Amino acid sequence: VQKQNRLRYALHAISLLILFLMQGTRGLTVEIFGVAPLLLIPFSVCIGMFEHEVAGASFGFAAGLLWDVNAGGWPGFNAIMLMIFGWLCGWLITNLIRNNFLSAFLLTGGSLAVYSVLHWLFFYCLAGYDNAAYAFWHFDAVQAVYSLLCVIPMYFSIRFFMKVMRAL
Amino acid sequence: MRSTRFKVMMSIIIILLIIMVLAMAIGFSAPQSSAMGAATTPIQAIGAQISASFNDFFGAFSKVNRLEEENAQLKKELQKRNEELIEFYQFKQQNEQMKDYLGIRDLHPDFTFEPARVISRDPTNRFYAFTIDKGTMAGVSKHDPVRNADGLVGYVIEAAPTYSVVMTVLDGGINIGAMSYRTLGADTGIVSGDITLSKDGLCRLNFLPQDCKIAVGDLIITTGIGGIFPKDMPIGTVKEIKQNQSDISVYAVIQPAADIRELRDVFVITHFDGQGGIDPEEE
């Protein structure tokens, strides 16, 4: 079991690295209305759901740390946000709600909404940029919706992978 | 006495010999051969067909083996050619980068450059901020200006040992003293980004007086005031001039000389004469 866990976590880590590269490299994801999807948020949510809150928080933290390398500004913002998402989703699935696609969709939607609003608030409103509302409706909202769609392939891929791992 | 059978056999042999000799001498087809041929041709044809089929069938295996070998050899050759091609493009890119570098270096002998490559972008940044593969270990420090062969790109806002984050001229938080090259400092303003323009890769030259002489198509360059950006560095060209809604000044929409959204290689200016000054976010 321990060997299986190690293998599963190693594969999660590889997936995380691939998604990190895809998110940060222009051309590796399709841009819609000038925005690229945030792949690490649905990933953190899904890992939290399929593993448990500690693993969700750990992978969320690692994903956020990697993201912060590219972000500039407030180092640690993404690490904190993604860690909370991973932990919270893991806890909710363990204690309150069922693990199915609808839950994944709603949890990712909620996480993206919280992230987008806080990001917009801290990095545009409080930073004193002009036309901050324009930024929210033309970038943040569009990006959140686009990223939410990414949970569809991500949820089913991770579910399939987990089934295969359990069968081993 | 010899038997009748022997006599018949000898007769046939003799007849056949005669026919053979005659056929050879005169050149006609021996009737026995024709007769045999007529009988055996269809059978031979079927045999040939079967043989051909067998040959094709078993030959296909040997052909497949041969083709497989050829295919593997061609694949190897193609792989080698691809590697050579990649190497060629890398050299070509390096060559172009070095040409740009030398061109800028000739124009500005006081500049110390550090060539760098764009390695990633933060998708949540609306102004196309990016990360480069050079940091403090390569001599890059915070507030160093960044450009490419075409013009100013931005400046370093975070310098880590092995990487740096660059804020671009499209960012609403940047302020760069700028003027028109044509009017030679008659009208100066501040170049800054705008969230509504950044999507199209444009920025603004703010705080221009109503009677400014700046015209569409003018080249906008840095003034060098503040000590963060070197003097006379091209920023972009004027695309449009508009009235500011909040005060009586006008502003120009600038098309940056460097294509900020598609950058791959840049130069960090780690030193220039007159460097050192106030933070361009507060300039």
pLDDT at B254 (0 to 100): 93
Q: Kindly list the residues from chain B whose CB atom is less than 8 angstroms away from the CB atom of residue A67.
A: 122
Kindly report, residue by residue over A18-61, the tens digit of the pLDDT: 999 888 887 888 888 888 999 999 999 999 999 988 899 999 99
Which residue do the tokens 């007159």 mark? B274
pLDDT at A86 (0 to 100): 92
pLDDT at B156 (0 to 100): 92
| A144 → chain B, closest CA residue | B124
| Exposure letters A95-114 (e unless 16+ CB within 10 A, then b) | eeeebeeebbbebbbbbbeb
pLDDT at A26 (0 to 100): 79
Cα A161 from Cα A166, distance rounded (Å): 9
Which of B123, B126, B167 is nearest residue A135 as measured by Cβ atoms? Answer: B126
Cα A30 from Cα A43, distance rounded (Å): 18
Q: Which segments in chain A show pLDDT lower than 70?
A: 72-73
Cα B272 from Cα B270, distance rounded (Å): 7
Query: Is residue A145 packed enough to be buried (19+ CB in 10 Å), middle (13-18) or exposed (0-12)?
Result: middle
This prediction's pTM:
0.71
Cα B140 from Cα B270, distance rounded (Å): 6
Q: Among A18, A126, A129, which would you mutate to test the B interface (most chain B Cβ atoms within 10 Å of its Cβ)? A: A129
* Per-residue pLDDT of chain B in tens (283 residues, 90 and over written 9): 567 777 776 777 777 667 766 765 665 555 544 554 455 445 555 655 665 565 566 666 667 888 888 899 889 888 888 888 888 777 777 777 666 666 666 667 778 888 898 888 888 888 899 999 888 998 999 899 999 888 999 999 988 888 899 999 999 888 999 988 888 777 888 999 988 898 889 999 998 888 888 889 889 999 888 788 888 889 999 999 988 887 788 899 999 999 888 888 899 999 888 777 665 555 4
Percent of chain A at pLDDT > 90 equals 52
Which of A67, A69, A129 is nearest residue B172 as measured by Cβ atoms? Answer: A129
Measured CA to CA in angstroms, residue B282 lies from A153, B47, B125, B143, B185 at distances of 44, 96, 20, 12, 22
Q: Kindly list the residues from chain B whose CB atom is less than 8 angstroms away from the CB atom of residue A129.
A: 172-173, 195
